């Protein structure tokens, strides 16, 4: 009966303008007479938000009504980037809005760029979660994301005198994409003690008492699918002082300040995203974040389940929970606690429910990234959970003991508790033991976890507990939104945009690989994307780069294992080659722009030294008249999702050059290929599967293989190697002060020369340089290059996150999409 009152979505430019202007004038209270781009952004966002909300409400009603199994994706990071463009493209009507805005005197691009990135993540892991949400909604899966509503996302990076400086990222000034649910709150307990008693039947009972309470408040973000009415929900928890805790006693007795301090302490939990990527530091506040978010999410999930009045044993038929790395592992003992201590289930029945509910994705084998929490800290913060973890461990070790009697060393190796001082809880083992499936994120990585960190567990559980789901990216954002002209060209050849829902359709582009007109347009689009990036570089840095040069890009978090140092040493080598060549020889160089971008964790000195070196090299090279257009070096400040959308379509070559066996998958490699850029890479992560799909001729692979890494490292430690001579020449140049005071780079070079070259930079240097020369040659042959790039795009269908989500749904979650009803 209410239907007749529901607002009608706009369908024309004029209707859009009416809506946007109404929001500017009333919702935002901004007069049209001083209406700037930020106000127009607000009005536009709110007009589209209205459309989303209708779909969102309906989707949630349908999902509740149908009561099919749902998946809950628990991730401490969701690197969403901007929402407006995505919303416009997913629900449609962007063209209508573009026309409307231009009638109001504004350009769509300028309006879109008003939005602050939602940067609640560090890198690949967080962006993967965002791509997954897009695919889940686009494929109509009943799915929710659960995360933390950080007040500060990943810091903003400024480069001052060549050094990284971190600036807080306060992003919530105006965020039209979230809805605070004042009515959805959960009280979360910390500290306190455990009471144990016998009930009437003589059974031992446990309860967790005392301590302090912090309140979790839900903030919901709509996640629209592409060309579907499905609009899923991302629920982010914010922390605040529990109502009883904002102590009116204190308040009235004049202790106003300490009462406000309590408030602030509670809010600290969701204040800031930890900016480390692949480095675990064991901070109490981080553990508090993890428990706060796990407990609030589970309370919410259990509450929803209980409303259906189904039996507990049915829980795994209604709920799948995916753990994005080990960060949400506390959800395992928390669910066990709810079932045993609160709902009164027997241990074994509860544990069987827990194991059927959870799946765990591993995203790294780097030892320094594996989470461990000290037992004393956990005892203090979560006393009951620690008991439960000890019990889980006891029953598990008993089982192992029965399977492999008298193997004490095995028991020590697989124990959840590491017998160190202090003792540590190994979160990856707890996650594995509490889940029914464990997956890696690319084939090589999924193999590696079975032979390294989880080797013993393959013996215990058998190989079927382990599986691979190779990562993917959403083609909506990373092709259609980031590269609208390429998307339109493909659509014109394939007869529409269906490939955005089934990316394997791209294979039909192979039919056009010899089509002159198509090749020309394809090249022109790449060129215009490079012009756009060149303009961005000019506007932000004042440096002119020639868009006809080969654009060589490496953008990702700065980390020794990703080897930006190998790249910049290669650049120095190139510079030295140019310098020593005659004017005649110089004509033979392929002009190149080496573009870097990425953040270093604030305490990661080696990564910061790499940034510093890149900037110093840039300074010298870019101002050397001998070099001119032959080489330019650019360090782009503050690499983030919205900048990636400009950068990815503009590369000729991008670099994915991690030491073999260290990069679990990588996902930017997929983004660059999908946009018609080629890659130089090691045999690592998803590069291997990309090669399989696009063909060896279309990728530039180099370097040692993962299977040889151990031996090579060993050789370094025993001095059985020689520094690569070309690399030695690069080091000489650095030492001689060519790039400023060499003291700044002492540690960086020593890591290679003196301390074992853990990442094998020297071992791979010759092969890297050689492959770069090959690239120069190949790029000069425009026709050959064009063929490679077209075939690459045509063969990237496998790397859609839609494929990836379908695999999770089928082999891990056992969930089905919700059938879409035709609109009346």
Residues known to be catalytic = 363, 556-557, 562, 667, 671
Which region, judged by CB under 6 A, interacts with ligand 26V, from 117-125, 459-467, 531-539, 723-731?
117-125
Looking at the Cβ atoms of 123 and 238, the one nearer to ligand 26V is: 123
Neighbours of 501 (CB within 10 A): 17
How far is residue 189 CA from its own chain's centroid?
Answer: 29
Which region, judged by CB under 6 A, interacts with ligand 26V, from 154-162, 235-243, 276-284, 779-787?
276-284
Residue 442's closest CA among 468, 467, 480?
468
Minimum distance, C-beta of residue 22 to ligand 26V, in the bound complex (Å)? 42
Among 63, 86, 90, 122, interactor with ligand 26V by CB under 6 A: 122
Minimum distance, C-beta of residue 663 to ligand 26V, in the bound complex (Å)? 5
> How big, in percent rounded to 5, are the helix, strand and coil portions of the chain?
55, 15, 30
Cis amide prior to 522 (ω within 30 degrees): no
Looking at the Cβ atoms of 362 and 594, the one nearer to ligand 26V is: 362
Asked if residue 814 lies in contact with residue 547, where contact means CB atoms within 8 angstroms, the answer is: no
Binding mask 729-748 for ligand 26V (x = CB under 6 A): --------------------
Looking at the Cβ atoms of 658 and 771, the one nearer to ligand 26V is: 658
- Whole-number Å distance between alpha carbons of 115 and 39: 11
How far is residue 429 CA from its own chain's centroid?
Answer: 23
164 binds ligand 26V (CB under 6 A): no
Q: Cα–Cα–Cα angle for 146, 152, 158, nearest 5°?
A: 130
- Whole-number Å distance between alpha carbons of 501 and 391: 46
669 binds ligand 26V (CB under 6 A): no
Minimum distance, C-beta of residue 273 to ligand 26V, in the bound complex (Å)? 9
364 binds ligand 26V (CB under 6 A): yes
| Ramachandran quadrant class, 41 (left: phi over 0; alpha: psi -120 to 50; beta: rest) | alpha
Which residue's CB atom is positioned nearest to ligand 26V? 124
471 binds ligand 26V (CB under 6 A): yes
Among 59, 259, 374, 667, interactor with ligand 26V by CB under 6 A: 667
Neighbours of 196 (CB within 10 A): 9
DSSP 599-623: PPPTT-HHHHHHHHHHHHHHHHHHT
Asked if residue 655 lies in contact with residue 554, where contact means CB atoms within 8 angstroms, the answer is: yes
Minimum distance, C-beta of residue 711 to ligand 26V, in the bound complex (Å)? 24
- Whole-number Å distance between alpha carbons of 604 and 747: 12
666 binds ligand 26V (CB under 6 A): yes
325 binds ligand 26V (CB under 6 A): yes
147 binds ligand 26V (CB under 6 A): no
417 binds ligand 26V (CB under 6 A): no
Looking at the Cβ atoms of 125 and 775, the one nearer to ligand 26V is: 125
114 binds ligand 26V (CB under 6 A): no
Looking at the Cβ atoms of 46 and 664, the one nearer to ligand 26V is: 664
Looking at the Cβ atoms of 663 and 763, the one nearer to ligand 26V is: 663
DSSP 23-35: IIIIIS---GGG-
- Tell me the two tokens of residue 523: 């090249």
503 binds ligand 26V (CB under 6 A): no
Q: Tally DSSP H helices, then E strands, for the chain.
A: 33, 24
663 binds ligand 26V (CB under 6 A): yes
Looking at the Cβ atoms of 120 and 298, the one nearer to ligand 26V is: 120
490 binds ligand 26V (CB under 6 A): no
Among 104, 125, 630, 793, interactor with ligand 26V by CB under 6 A: 125
Tokens 């901004």 locate to 30
- Whole-number Å distance between alpha carbons of 475 and 487: 10
Among 234, 345, 365, 441, interactor with ligand 26V by CB under 6 A: 441
- Tell me the two tokens of residue 422: 């202090």
- Whole-number Å distance between alpha carbons of 503 and 445: 24
Looking at the Cβ atoms of 125 and 609, the one nearer to ligand 26V is: 125
Secondary structure of residue 64 in the 3-state scheme: helix
Residue 651's closest CA among 533, 552, 556, 568?
552
564 binds ligand 26V (CB under 6 A): no
363 binds ligand 26V (CB under 6 A): yes
Which region, judged by CB under 6 A, interacts with ligand 26V, from 198-206, 663-671, 710-718, 729-737?
663-671
Instruction: Provide CB contacts within 8 A for 191, sequence distance 6+.
Output: 210, 211, 212, 380, 381, 383
Which region, judged by CB under 6 A, interacts with ligand 26V, from 97-105, 124-132, 151-159, 811-819?
124-132
Instruction: Provide CB contacts within 8 A for 59, sequence distance 6+.
Output: 229, 230, 231, 232
Among 83, 91, 108, 128, interactor with ligand 26V by CB under 6 A: 128
290 binds ligand 26V (CB under 6 A): no
Minimum distance, C-beta of residue 239 to ligand 26V, in the bound complex (Å)? 18
User: What is residue 675's DSSP assignment?
Assistant: T
Among 72, 155, 208, 274, interactor with ligand 26V by CB under 6 A: 274
Looking at the Cβ atoms of 122 and 230, the one nearer to ligand 26V is: 122
Exposure string of 30-52, with b = 16+ CB inside 10 Å and e = fewer, is beeeebeeebbbbbbbbbbbebb
369 binds ligand 26V (CB under 6 A): yes
Stretch (H or E) spanning 653 = strand 653-656
454 binds ligand 26V (CB under 6 A): no
The residues binding ligand 26V (CB under 6 A) are 122-125, 128, 274, 276-280, 325, 363-364, 369, 441, 471, 663-667, 685
């Amino acid at each position: 009966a209410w239907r007749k009152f529901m607002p009608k979505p706009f369908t024309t430019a004029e209707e859009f303008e009416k809506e946007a202007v109404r929001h500017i004038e009333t919702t935002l209270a901004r007069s049209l007479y001083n209406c700037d781009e930020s106000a127009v952004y607000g009005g536009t966002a709110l007009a589209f938000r209205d459309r989303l909300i209708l779909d969102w409400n309906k989707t949630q009603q349908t999902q509740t009504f149908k009561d099919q199994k749902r998946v809950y994706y628990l991730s401490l990071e969701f690197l969403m980037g901007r929402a407006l463009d995505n919303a416009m493209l997913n629900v449609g009507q962007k063209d209508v809005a573009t026309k409307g805005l231009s009638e109001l005197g504004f350009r769509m691009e300028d309006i879109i760029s008003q939005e602050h990135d939602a940067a609640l993540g560090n890198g690949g892991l967080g962006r993967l979660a965002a791509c997954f949400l897009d695919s889940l909604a686009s494929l109509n899966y009943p799915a929710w994301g659960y995360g933390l509503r950080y007040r500060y996302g990943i810091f903003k990076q400024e480069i001052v005198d060549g050094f990284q400086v971190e600036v807080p990222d306060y992003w919530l000034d105006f965020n039209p994409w979230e809805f605070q649910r004042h009515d959805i709150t959960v009280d979360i307990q910390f500290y306190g003690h455990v009471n144990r008693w016998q009930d009437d039947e003589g059974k031992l009972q446990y309860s967790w008492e005392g301590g302090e309470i912090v309140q979790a408040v839900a903030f919901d973000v709509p996640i629209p699918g592409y060309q579907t009415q499905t609009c899923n929900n991302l629920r982010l928890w914010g922390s605040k002082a529990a109502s009883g805790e904002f102590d009116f006693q204190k308040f009235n007795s004049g202790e106003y300040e300490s009462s406000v301090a309590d408030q602030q302490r509670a809010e600290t939990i969701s204040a800031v995203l930890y900016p480390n990527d692949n480095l675990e530091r064991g901070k109490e506040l981080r553990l508090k974040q993890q428990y706060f978010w796990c407990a609030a999410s589970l309370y919410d999930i259990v509450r929803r389940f209980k409303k259906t009045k189904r039996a507990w044993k049915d829980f795994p038929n209604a709920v799948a929970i995916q753990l994005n790395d080990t960060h949400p592992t506390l959800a395992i003992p928390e669910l066990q606690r709810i079932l045993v201590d609160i709902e009164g289930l027997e241990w074994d029945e509860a544990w069987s429910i827990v194991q059927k509910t959870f799946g765990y994705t591993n995203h790294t084998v780097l030892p320094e990234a594996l989470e461990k929490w000290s037992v004393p800290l956990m005892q203090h913060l979560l006393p009951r959970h620690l008991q439960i973890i000890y019990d889980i461990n006891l029953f598990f070790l008993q089982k192992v003991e029965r399977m492999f009697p008298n193997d004490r060393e095995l028991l020590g190796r697989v124990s959840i508790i590491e017998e160190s001082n202090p003792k540590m809880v190994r979160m990856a083992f707890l996650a594995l033991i509490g889940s029914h499936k464990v997956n890696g994120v690319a084939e090589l990585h999924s193999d590696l976890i079975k032979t390294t960190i989880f080797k013993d567990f393959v013996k215990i559980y058998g190989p079927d507990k382990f599986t691979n789901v190779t990562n993917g990216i959403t083609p909506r954002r990373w092709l259609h939104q980031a590269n609208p002209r390429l998307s339109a060209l493909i659509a014109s050849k394939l007869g529409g945009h269906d490939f955005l829902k089934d990316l394997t359709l791209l294979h039909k582009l192979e039919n056009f690989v010899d089509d002159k007109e198509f090749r020309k347009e394809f090249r022109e689009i790449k060129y215009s994307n490079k012009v756009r990036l060149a303009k961005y570089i000019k506007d932000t840095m004042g440096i002119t780069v020639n868009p006809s040069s080969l654009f060589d890009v490496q953008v990702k978090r700065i980390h020794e294992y990703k080897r930006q140092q190998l790249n910049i040493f290669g650049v120095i080598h190139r510079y030295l080659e140019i310098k020593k060549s005659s004017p005649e020889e110089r004509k033979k160089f392929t002009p190149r722009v080496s573009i870097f971008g990425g953040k270093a964790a604030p305490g990661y000195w080696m990564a910061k030294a790499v940034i510093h070196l890149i900037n110093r090299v840039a300074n010298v090279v870019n101002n050397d008249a001998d070099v001119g257009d032959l080489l330019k070096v650019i360090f782009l400040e503050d690499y983030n999702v919205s900048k990636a959308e400009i950068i990815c379509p503009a590369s000729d070559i991008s670099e994915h050059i991690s030491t073999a066996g260290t990069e679990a998958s990588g996902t930017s490699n997929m983004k660059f290929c999908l946009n018609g850029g080629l890659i130089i890479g090691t045999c690592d992560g998803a590069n291997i599967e990309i090669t399989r799909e696009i063909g060896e001729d279309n990728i530039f692979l180099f370097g040692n293989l993962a299977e040889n890494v151990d031996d090579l490292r060993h050789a370094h430690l025993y001095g059985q190697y020689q520094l690569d001579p070309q690399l030695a020449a690069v080091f000489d140049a650095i030492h001689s002060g060519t790039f400023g005071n060499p003291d700044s780079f002492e540690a960086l070079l020593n890591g290679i020369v003196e301390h074992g070259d853990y990442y094998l930079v020297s071992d791979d240097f010759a092969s890297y340089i050689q492959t770069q020369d090959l690239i120069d040659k190949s790029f000069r042959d425009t026709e050959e290059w064009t063929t490679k790039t077209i075939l690459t795009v045509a063969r990237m269908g496998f790397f859609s996150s839609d494929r990836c989500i379908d695999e999770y749904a089928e082999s891990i979650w056992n969930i089905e999409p919700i059938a879409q009803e035709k609109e009346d």
